[in-house]
């Protein structure tokens, strides 16, 4: 039976609307940081207090996105009757996002891009080594590579979960595909995507000059702890 948004409690409907507005606005950050081209890429957000997610519609230009065009799905990846036209389908990556939400309850946002440098590392099937203090801060070590998987079912989602469960990194480079990032909310996942591309570009440049110097694990641990628990406003 199809779930109708209007049949859900008022507080859930309000949470869906807030999530739609946030996810729609965050797509502008993907174009701002040049992480996507044309209609590629997507951001999703878990709806607080409900077994629902909000995600970009498939194949829609970024300048046509709004809160009203964001698609609401169950955590099985099925679109609900959310007021959008039946012809407005969710992203082709919906199954992957949904799998992550089902198996990583701490995750509140997922972002996928084909950003140039991170995707180049993915094409080589090579992790990005932790040779920058900002990598220690944000990723707690190298950015790992996930297995090759085809779009269409939850294979990509399984690869993301299997890879990131054993890593402090919020980013994974899916082999021959591109980066997927997670966060406590949608905004954090977009930040991780921007940071992933930045370090991918910088480490690539360093490798053109010679062999980058690895950071010892003890210092990576200290960098990560400081950034996650002390840095910024609390």
Cite the active site residues: 137, 231
Q: Which residues contact 201 (CB under 8 A, 6 or more apart)?
A: 116, 117
CB 97 within 8 A of CB 71: no
Cα(138)–Cα(125) distance, integer angstroms? 21
Q: Which helix (H) or strand (E) holds 163?
A: helix 155-164
Cα end-to-end span (Å), the chain: 44
The owner of tokens 């360093």 is 206
């Amino acid at each position: 039976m199809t779930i109708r948004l209007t049949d859900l409690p008022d507080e859930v409907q309000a949470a869906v609307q807030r999530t739609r507005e946030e996810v729609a606005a965050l797509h502008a950050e993907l174009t701002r940081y040049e992480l996507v081209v044309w209609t590629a890429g997507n951001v999703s957000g878990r709806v607080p207090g409900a077994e629902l997610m909000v995600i970009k519609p498939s194949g829609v230009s970024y300048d046509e996105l709004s809160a009203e065009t964001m698609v609401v799905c169950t955590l099985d990846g099925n679109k609900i009757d959310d007021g959008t036209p039946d012809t407005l389908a969710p992203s082709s990556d919906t199954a992957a996002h949904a799998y992550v939400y089902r198996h990583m309850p701490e995750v509140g946002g997922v972002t996928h891009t084909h950003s140039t440098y991170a995707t180049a590392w993915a094409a080589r099937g090579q992790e990005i080594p932790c040779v920058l203090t900002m990598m220690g801060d944000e990723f707690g070590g190298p950015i790992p590579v996930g297995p090759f998987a085809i779009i269409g079912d939850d294979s990509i989602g399984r690869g993301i979960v299997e890879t990131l469960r054993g890593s402090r990194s919020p980013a994974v480079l899916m082999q021959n595909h591109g980066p997927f990032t997670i966060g406590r909310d949608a905004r954090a996942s977009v930040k991780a995507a921007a940071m992933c591309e930045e370090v991918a570009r910088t480490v690539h440049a360093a490798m053109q000059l010679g062999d980058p110097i690895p950071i010892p694990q003890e210092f990576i641990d200290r960098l990560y702890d400081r950034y996650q628990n002390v840095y910024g406003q609390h």
